[in-house]
Amino acid sequence: MGYVLKDCDYAISWINGELRIIKNATVVIEDGLIAGIGEGAYSRGFENIDCKDHILMPGLVNAHTHTPMSLFRGFFDDAELPLWLSKIWNVERELNHNIVSAASELSIIEMIMSGTTAFTDQYFYPQATAEVVLKYGLRAALGPPFMDTMRDPKQVENELRNFASEYASSQLIRPIINVHSVYTVGRDTLLRIKELSDELNLPIHIHASETRDEVYEIKSKHGVFPVEYLNTLGLISSNLQLVHLGWVTNWELGIIAKAGAKVIHAPTSNMKLATAGHFPMRELMDMGVIIGIGTDGPASNNSLDMFREMKMAVLLQRHSYWDVGIKAHHVFRAATINGYTILGLRGGCLDRGCVADVVLLDSKNPQLQPLRTDNLLSNIVYSVDGSSVDLVLVNGRLIYEKSRDYYAFRERAVRLGKEINEFIGRFLP
């Protein structure tokens, strides 16, 4: 089975490692992969998709989120992180499979409709989220979170083993080891997590150096900063994904780079929760560190739109550095090809052999006007939002077509919102 995306006004992607914009592009998709640009377009007998009046681009990767937290959207919104977390954790103790499934579905609908083709998720009941992922057909990295302050680590380990076994051969679900943070997970658990990562060959995904309080607490308790502490336990490696890093030291950057660890920037959430600090994107890039971008959860963002997040990343970086050194192409790379690298996939590109996770944007959308080759990337990063998405393919399969699916998705989202309100209403004043 395959598709021919025929006569796109523009195609923008990483091709042979370089960002290229091609006019009047035709792309062939076969067996879930990019088969080429313009090759065999009219001879394979594949289904044609007319791309006139559209821009073809790679799907966006939300490299860090908490999809079920759509149930907390607008819940206790104007508080700083410690107080906000205490309110959230009180509700999370009452979660169940069904409510996590409903909230995950609401978030996944939003992500698909706004051009996200893959995401990394950290939350309870990952099995519920995985079922929704497979129902809708996008990609996700998932796994039960270690969080000693709320859950028995031995129970989490058992869940992890079962989850990893069930989805070991899945094309869409990638098991990971989720760790909330060094301040909610003890030393013995962290050491066990290192053993599990080595044994199961799974990446570790963890919040780190998110707040000043966290940094001070770990320094006071262990005599070193969070990244240094993780390094003393052997966790800093190419299998580690560090999220936030707003209060990381310059010498810790060297530890990260030397080990080949990956990092994820979540600008909107950091600003909304007033965590302050500075994510040192330029220094990390100069060191060759792979950087992804995530929205964080829909409780602390509150949007899951990765187009908005790319813009926020540039703006926050420029505000912090007092210069324009971070460009549109840096965040576009972070949200596409880097995101797929973090997932362990060759994607975010239109080269032959890249996974066929692509998005079509409406090139007639007023947000994109005036449109030219020289301003196309700028318009995508700084102007459009997810409403410009007309079509989404993941793994070579059409999972969203606005003309076909928009109203059904919207109505489903409203029904899910009502179900979520019935649950969260018990915790409102």
Do 278 and 393 fall into the same domain?
no
Do 274 and 170 fall into the same domain?
yes
Count CA atoms within 13 Å of residue 313 on its CB side: 31
pLDDT of residue 45: 79
Do 168 and 96 fall into the same domain?
yes
Do 258 and 309 fall into the same domain?
yes
Mean pLDDT (the chain, rounded)? 96
pLDDT of residue 42: 57
Residue 333 belongs to a domain: yes
Do 218 and 153 fall into the same domain?
yes
Do 317 and 237 fall into the same domain?
yes
- With a threshold of 0.95, does the pTM exceed it? yes
What would the pLDDT profile of 208-259 be if each residue is shown by its tens digit?
999 999 999 999 999 999 999 999 999 999 999 999 999 999 999 999 999 9
Tell me the pLDDT band of 86, cut-offs 50, 70 and 90: confident
Residue 253 belongs to a domain: yes
Looking at the structure of the chain, the number of domains it has is 2
Residue 414 belongs to a domain: no
How is residue 376 written in tokens? 């196309």
pLDDT of residue 1: 74
Do 225 and 325 fall into the same domain?
yes
Do 196 and 283 fall into the same domain?
yes
DSSP string of 220-275, one letter each residue:
HHHSS-HHHHHHHTT--STTEEEEE-TT--HHHHHHHHHHT-EEEE-HHHHHHTT-
Amino acid at site 322: W
pLDDT of residue 14: 84
Residue 97 belongs to a domain: yes
Do 235 and 371 fall into the same domain?
no
Whether residue 126 has pLDDT greater than 60: yes
Residue 295 belongs to a domain: yes
Q: Provide the domain limits for residue 370.
A: 2-58+350-409
Whether residue 429 has pLDDT greater than 80: no
Do 225 and 199 fall into the same domain?
yes
Whether residue 40 has pLDDT greater than 60: no
Do 242 and 389 fall into the same domain?
no
Residue 421 belongs to a domain: no
Do 176 and 291 fall into the same domain?
yes
Residue 312 belongs to a domain: yes
Considering 343, 377, 400, which residue would you say is the last residue of a domain? 343
d(CA 121, CA 386): 20
Domain harbouring 20, CATH code: 2.30.40.10
Considering 286, 315, 343, which residue would you say is the last residue of a domain? 343
Domain harbouring 220, CATH code: 3.20.20.140
